[in-house]
Homo-oligomer: A and B are copies of this chain.
Amino acid sequence: MNHAPEKIEHFGQDEALVLDSGVKLGPFSMAYETYGELNNDKSNVVLVCHALTGDQYAASTHPITGKPGWWSRMVGPGRPVDTERFFVICPNVIGSCLGSTGPASINPETGEPYGICFPVITINDMVKAQAQLLERLGIDDLFCVIGGSMGGMLVLQWAASYPEKVFAAAPIATAARHSSQNIAFHEVGRQAIMADPEWCGGRYAQEGRNPKKGLAVARMAAHITYLSENALHRKFGRNLQDRDAVTFGFDADFQVESYLRYQGVSFVDRFDANSYLYVTRAMDYFDLAQAHGGALAAAFKGTKTRFCVVSFTSDWLFPTEESREIVQALNANAANVSFVEIETDKGHDSFLLDEPEMIDAMDGFFRSAARARGLEDQGKGSHG
């Protein structure tokens, strides 16, 4: 899983991150990608926040899989996050494994990978690390912060922590707290990893092993939750995989089995098992209301940020109701907020897929926010 990220910033012990747990994390590194050009007054910065197993390669080729950027539909020339107008930064979150410091990184105190000696991090910690990166890059404030799923949690945290630095914010397919059911699914994934003897109590790197099977099972379970029942039915139904009849065995008779197995085995090549533990934990711990005395509205007190909240009708991982709670908290602050619920049967993963209505909504939001910000519209026309 080694690769050299294109862009990386290192922070010394004197710049250590004080985590919510109280632990000081330092030295640490932040890997990131950028797209587009920073304008003269640095007013055109868009921060893109990735999801659980996402990475900084939002609009560029992934160095391991060779696949196009995970959000090429949203970020690029003529796209809603138009790289001909905006300067886009997409950092890899701390705790992850694509260059930013995480459990696979070397612990300077021991000279060995942290493993599960890495401190537990939170969404707030991820945001603080991003803020430190931006400071290093000389960026004082953000035109917009945008992200889906866990990325949406980071967007909300940014808006709550640094309201004066966030002109616009687009939390997509997300929630202000992780639900009981979602914690349960994460716990299944973690137990699958930790049940794998190759996990070695988290020391698999030192032992030259790798809990690939456990991680694949975790991914398979999670992947089901990213789709809707209808999407699975439409895509696979009970269709058989390259055969005319069931085999009366445990091969992948059904296409849906074959698909899931592929999701599992292909995932382990690009993601670290311990990172999976840490990043899921960060989501579980996220509860923005609780961090503000129990009232979500208090998290956005007096906010001047322009929000566009997006949900998808068939997303059962982050149902519309949870987006509505965000909107209500913003309304309670008389915030500038629009709310788009998109009719689709593609489930939670819709934010990554070809959803023209989402693209149109984001395009409109970025254009209008750019006008409000006084960013010159270069009349680049529509996306696509």
Contact = CB atoms under 8 A, between A and B. Distances in A.
Interface of A: 20-21, 23, 116, 119-120, 177-181, 183-185, 187-188, 190-192, 194-197, 213-214, 216-217, 220-221, 224, 227, 229, 232-233, 235-238, 246, 248-250, 252-254, 256-257, 260-261, 264, 277, 281, 284-285, 287, 290, 316, 319
Contact of A191 (B220, B316, B319): B220
A64 B179 CA distance: 34
7 contacts: A178-B238, A180-B235, A183-B238, A188-B220, A191-B261, A250-B281, A254-B284
Contact of A195 (B181, B213, B316): B213
A196 B116 CA distance: 21
B256 A187 contact: yes
Contacts of A250: 116, 120, 190, 194, 277, 281
A184 B235 CA distance: 13
A185 B222 CA distance: 10
A116 B248 CA distance: 11
Main secondary structure of the interface of A (DSSP, over half): helix
Nearest to A286: B238
A285 B246 contact: yes
A126 to B, nearest CB: 14
A187 B180 CA distance: 23
B180 A236 contact: yes
A192 B180 contact: no
A29 B185 CA distance: 38
Contacts of A184: 220, 224, 232, 256-257, 260
Interface centre among A180, A250, A257, A277 (most CB of B within 10 A): A180
A179 B229 contact: yes
A316 B196 contact: no
